[in-house]
């Protein structure tokens, strides 16, 4: 059985080029993970997700525990078989979406109880139950349950939340060590909002427990790109060099470039698929809205150089038409294009780090990407 691991191959400034090893396959980092919320990357076939170059996808514990339930997925052979994805899967703990989606939340030292946003049914999510669910799903990279504080949050409230998350980290680790199959990994999550000393306290507390990878949580919640980058700058240097670092829920293409420059290895975000469903296409010259009338007669594809069929084989005029006609294929083709764009961006970043020219790459990318906006 392959064990979970991380190998750092090269650096360029603070940017890191590595490989995460899992029993289900390798993940070249920096890596972007498409989000498969409810056991499907929305509007996509897994075959096409894989063809974009994605080596790992993310599943949402909150959504899956409510529907169709972790026990049902386990009976059906686990999440990989259920949705037909053969590579590694990372799951979140469910905590973030309890905070953003569920009703009537009540948080205690023991657990968070809440009502399902789907049918109002009552549920309890403790650190132990979250780990149990993630193992029922068969997740390869699991997250500790943490409290996800809002932004902004006062310093003392943030510290209190952070300490709870550290206690939950310890309980998550104990549950994981008891339950998880060989080769699976549990990540601790660094919290502390935008307070440098709290980020330090959180990182040190987690490292004391010891995890094979560290997530950075509590960002991309409204603090703005500047504050996010400043927080990364004080956080990533605290983390062990020989473990992967995952920035949760980020982000826009320029967020990814800036976060890689600050030592992040892994990302997930609904943006490429959600934007795609709403007609936004990412391009090297910045995002465009394909529904705009200016594309009605445009015979050019989104990216003739891409090897993604959605980017290369259809006129913008066709994509525009599909959106106007309300066709399913509109969402599929634009989600697909955006995922391919994100993977191409990650590939370019990986190459730039290997060549130790990341800073120049980032400047060139941002210059072109922001030129039209």
Binder of a second copy out of 179, 317, 347, 359 (CB under 8 A):
317
Binder of a second copy out of 8, 83, 107, 238 (CB under 8 A):
83
- Catalytically annotated residue among 48, 92, 265, 303: 92
d(C-alpha 149, C-alpha 116), whole Å? 20
d(C-alpha 119, C-alpha 324), whole Å? 33
Q: Is 331 among the residues that bind a second copy (CB under 8 A)?
A: yes
Taking only Cα atoms into account, the Rg of the chain, rounded to an integer number of angstroms, comes to: 20
CA angle at 269 for the pair 370 and 366, rounded to the nearest 5°? 15
Nearer to a second copy, 39 or 352 (CB): 39
Nearer to a second copy, 15 or 41 (CB): 41
d(C-alpha 228, C-alpha 205), whole Å? 21
Binder of a second copy out of 22, 332, 338, 343 (CB under 8 A):
332
> Has 32 been labeled as part of a binding site?
no
Q: Which of residues 5-44 bind a second copy (CB under 8 A)?
A: 38-40, 42-44
> Has 93 been labeled as part of a binding site?
yes
Alpha helix (H) ranges present in the chain?
46-51, 61-66, 70-75, 79-83, 95-101, 127-137, 155-179, 196-209, 225-235, 253-260, 271-277, 309-312, 316-324, 328-354, 358-369
Binder of a second copy out of 6, 82, 295, 341 (CB under 8 A):
82
Nearer to a second copy, 39 or 131 (CB): 39
Nearer to a second copy, 80 or 350 (CB): 80
* DSSP codes, 344-364: HHHHHHHHHHHTT-HHHHHHH
- Catalytically annotated residue among 48, 140, 268, 303: 268
> Has 97 been labeled as part of a binding site?
no
Q: Is 200 among the residues that bind a second copy (CB under 8 A)?
A: no
> Has 53 been labeled as part of a binding site?
no
Q: Kindly compute the dihedral angle of the four CA atoms of residues 88, 187, 263, 285, in this order, to the nearest 10 degrees.
A: 50
Instruction: Kindly indicate which of the ranges 145-153, 241-249, 282-290, 294-302 contains the residues binding a second copy, using the contact rule CB under 8 A.
Output: 294-302
| CB burial of residue 170 (10 Å; 0-12, 13-18, 19+) | middle
Q: Is 171 among the residues that bind a second copy (CB under 8 A)?
A: no
Catalytic annotation on 364? no
Catalytic annotation on 92? yes
Q: CA separation (Å) from 371 to 31, 302, 368?
A: 25, 17, 5
Instruction: Kindly indicate which of the ranges 60-68, 132-140, 223-231, 261-269 contains the residues binding a second copy, using the contact rule CB under 8 A.
Output: 60-68
Q: Which residues sit at the interface with a second copy, rule CB under 8 A?
A: 38-40, 42-45, 47, 63, 67-68, 72, 75-77, 82-84, 296-297, 299, 309, 313-315, 317-318, 320-322, 324-325, 327-329, 331-332
Catalytic residue set: 92, 268
Binding-site residue positions: 92-96, 146, 191, 218
């Amino acid at each position: 059985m392959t064990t979970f691991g991380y190998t750092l191959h090269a650096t360029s400034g603070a940017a890191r080029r590595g490989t995460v090893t899992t029993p289900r396959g390798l993940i070249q980092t920096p890596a972007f993970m498409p989000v498969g919320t409810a056991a499907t990357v929305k509007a996509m076939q897994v075959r096409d997700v894989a063809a974009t170059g994605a080596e790992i996808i993310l599943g949402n514990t909150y959504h899956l525990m409510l529907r169709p339930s972790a026990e049902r997925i386990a009976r059906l052979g686990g999440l990989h078989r259920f949705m037909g994805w053969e590579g590694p899967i990372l799951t979140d703990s469910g905590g973030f979406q309890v905070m953003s989606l569920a009703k009537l939340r009540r948080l205690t030292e023991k657990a968070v109880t809440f009502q399902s946003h789907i049918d109002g049914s009552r549920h309890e999510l403790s650190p132990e139950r979250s780990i149990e669910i993630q193992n029922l799903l068969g997740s390869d990279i699991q997250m500790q349950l943490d409290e996800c504080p809002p932004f902004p949050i006062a310093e003392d409230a943030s510290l209190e939340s952070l300490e709870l998350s550290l206690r939950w980290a310890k309980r998550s680790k104990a549950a994981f060590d008891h339950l998880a199959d060989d080769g699976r990994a549990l990540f601790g999550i660094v919290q502390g909002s935008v307070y440098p000393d709290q980020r330090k306290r959180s990182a040190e507390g987690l490292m004391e427990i010891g995890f094979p990878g560290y997530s950075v949580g509590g960002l991309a919640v409204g603090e703005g790109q500047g504050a996010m980058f400043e927080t990364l700058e004080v956080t990533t240097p605290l983390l062990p060099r020989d473990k992967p670092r995952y920035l949760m829920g980020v982000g826009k293409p320029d967020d990814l470039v800036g976060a890689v420059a600050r030592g992040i290895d892994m990302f997930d975000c609904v943006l490429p698929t959600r934007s795609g469903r709403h007609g936004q296409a990412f391009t090297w010259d910045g995002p465009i809205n394909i529904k705009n009338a200016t594309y009605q007669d445009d015979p050019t594809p989104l990216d003739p150089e891409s090897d993604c069929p959605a980017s290369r084989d259809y006129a913008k005029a066709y994509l525009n038409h599909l959106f106007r006609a309300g066709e399913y294929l509109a969402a599929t083709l634009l989600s697909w294009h955006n995922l391919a764009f994100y993977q191409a961006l990650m590939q370019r970043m990986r190459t730039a780090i290997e060549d130790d020219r990341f800073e120049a790459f980032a400047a060139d990318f941002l210059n072109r990407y922001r030129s039209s906006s």
